[in-house]
Amino acid sequence: MASIIAQATEKLSIVETVYVDEVAGSDEGTGTETSPMKTPLKALEKHGENIKIVIKKDEEGYKDISGAALKKAKKSLLEHQRKLKKQEEQKQKLEEELKKKHEEEAKALERAKSIVLTQDTSLPKAEKIKIRQSTDSRGKRVKVSGWVHRLRVQGKDMMFVILRDGSGFLQCVLTGELCHTFDAITLTTESTITVYGVINALPEGKKAPDNHELVVDYWELVGKAPDGDEAFNSKVTTDADPSYLLDNRHLVLRGETSAAVFKARAEVIKAFRAHYESRGYTEVTPPCMVQTQVEGGATLFEFNYYGETAYLTQSSQLYLETCLPSLGDVFSLAESYRAEKSHTRRHLSEYSHLEAEMAFLTFEDMLDNIEDLVCDVIDRVMAHEPTRKLIEQLNPTFQPPARPFLRMNYADAIKYLKDNDIKKEDGSYYQYGEDIPEAPERAMTDKINRPILLCRFPANIKAFYMQKCSDDPSVTESVDVLMPNVGEIVGGSMRMNDMNELLEAYKREGIDPSPYYWYTDQRKYGTCPHGGYGLGVERFLAWLLNRHTVRDCSLYPRFTGRCTP
């Protein structure tokens, strides 16, 4: 008897005491006096029901838990355990269902592998076409290859593919067995395929590109694009970080907006060439590797040319000037390079520079020529139906600029900035003789909201070669064309045609005249009044197509810190 009592006492004495402090405890605690828990429920859950709970609610210290509180905690524990069990059962059920689904899919895929499509040899031979030819090819059996731009699966027996080949978009409809093959079930966007079938006009009310669709009778996979995390649509999203999108520029270019920009760009370039052709200019192709500067040493990209210092050209202007005596008015479209330190939305390190040079003309003639170029090129692209549609797609509110452009002198621009309270960052006004930077220039242009030919800049803020105005030699026969939303898109001037004046200008700018001997010679061997301009193609496009930055108008933009891909 004594030993039974002793055993019971020993058992009682080993009942664990768990400390609960409802104010300062934590359910992460161990339950000792120095690390109390916060709630009786968690104490029971962690230490089991065979414990003694002492609880502290206020300053008075630990007391045994009341019978009612213990009962309540045990009831809560039971409920909690029931809930957990239910959750666990549901989880298991879901896992089993998912496993079953995967197994079924795997089986379906295995079955699909055995389905092999064959061409129906009784059908007419398919003629290979590009999508742009599809309207003319309606009713005939054709073969079209391209990329899966969009994919919509409708039930087990129907798939819609919007096919893209760069020349257009074509809806293709696949039915029955054509949708059951392994390649059909696993088809992804950006995969390449070849489809065979007949293009039929769509009935009223149904919509697809060019209002027709290709009813596929046979198709082949050419190259499968990845799915899952690597899938095109998860990689290229419009809300992605700009730098990530630039790293993936090769994929971004496949998008409808980019494609529209570069289609329009190609047409705009064609229109520039057509304009010059119609006005009797000759196109020339000057070198990109040079040993002279045009627009100041600060933005020169220098490189080692067989042991000599050379530069990537900033402008082909000086070379164009040398062509006047033999070819007459000339133009070139070449890449220009600027080591711009500025990270702005209109500066590139490499840009497409359209430049023209004309002989025997006045400054006023040149301004007229620039206005003619801009307006005629806009007229040409707007008259070309597909390009007009691209412009409407990208810039729905675009209105061709009205002639004549506003002609404004630099001095008046300085006054305009002051009158309209457009200030420097430090709160002061721009003074005559200072360069007008991008922000105030754009503020002014946006406010005026029409093209401006900004003329007669002071000589000290312009390039060495600019002709001085005869009525005021402190200013030059120079012009910047400013467009709303972008700012400067063209820079031009008349050129000094007096040799001695040019030699003085080299001296003033600290330029060694010797590498410029060929440029100086133009003034020696029959000089003439002449002038020209350079137009930044990406800036022109940013204006026309309403792009936020010139980067969007360059295939693979180069700017500070980016030379890839």
- Site residues (vs ligand 4AD, CB under 6 A): 294-295, 315, 317, 338, 340, 347-348, 351, 353, 355, 488-492, 532-536, 538-539, 550
Nearer of residues 189 and 315 to ligand 4AD, judged by Cβ? 315
Nearest to 330 by CA among 343, 341, 312, 317: 317
Q: Are 476 and 460 in contact (CB under 8 A)?
A: no
- Toward ligand 4AD, which CB reaches closer, 164 or 468? 468
Residues 144 and 84: beta-carbon distance below 8 Å: no
Query: Is 148 or 348 the residue whose CB approaches ligand 4AD more closely?
Result: 348
Residue 272 Cβ vs ligand 4AD, minimum distance, rounded to whole Å: 13
Q: Give the residue with the Cβ less far from ligand 4AD, 181 or 315.
A: 315
Residue placing its CB nearer to ligand 4AD in the complex, 134 or 332 = 332
CA angle 457–559–387, rounded 5-degree value: 80
Q: Which CB, 44 or 264, lies closer to ligand 4AD? A: 264
60 half-sphere exposure, CB direction, 13 A CA radius? 7
How is residue 421 written in tokens? 């309270």
- Residue 353 or 456 with smaller CB distance to ligand 4AD: 353
Measured on CA atoms in the order 235, 223, 187, 123, is the torsion positive or negative? positive
C-beta of 346: minimal distance to ligand 4AD in Å?
Answer: 6
Q: CA nearest 223: which of 294, 297, 145, 314?
A: 145
State the minimum distance, in angstroms, from the CB of residue 480 to ligand 4AD: 6
Residues 6+ positions from 322 with CB-CB distance below 8 Å: 518, 519, 522
Name the nearest CA neighbour of 361 among 258, 472, 234, 467.
467
CA atoms lying within 13 Å on the CB side of residue 151: 19
- The residue among 38 and 345 lying less far from ligand 4AD, judged by its C-beta, is 345
Q: Which is nearer to ligand 4AD, 163 or 261 (CB)?
A: 261
Least CB distance to ligand 4AD at residue 540 (A)? 7
Spatial distance between the Cα atoms of 248 and 266, rounded to a whole number of angstroms: 22
Given a contact cutoff of 8 angstroms between Cβ atoms, the answer to whether 428 and 401 are in contact is no
Which CB contacts under 8 angstroms, 24+ apart, belong to 368-374? 370/453, 370/479, 370/481, 370/490, 370/492, 370/533, 371/403, 371/404, 371/405, 371/453, 372/279, 373/272, 373/275, 373/535, 374/401, 374/405, 374/451, 374/481, 374/490
> Identity (one letter) of the amino acid at 364?
E
* CB of 366 vs ligand 4AD, minimal distance in Å: 10
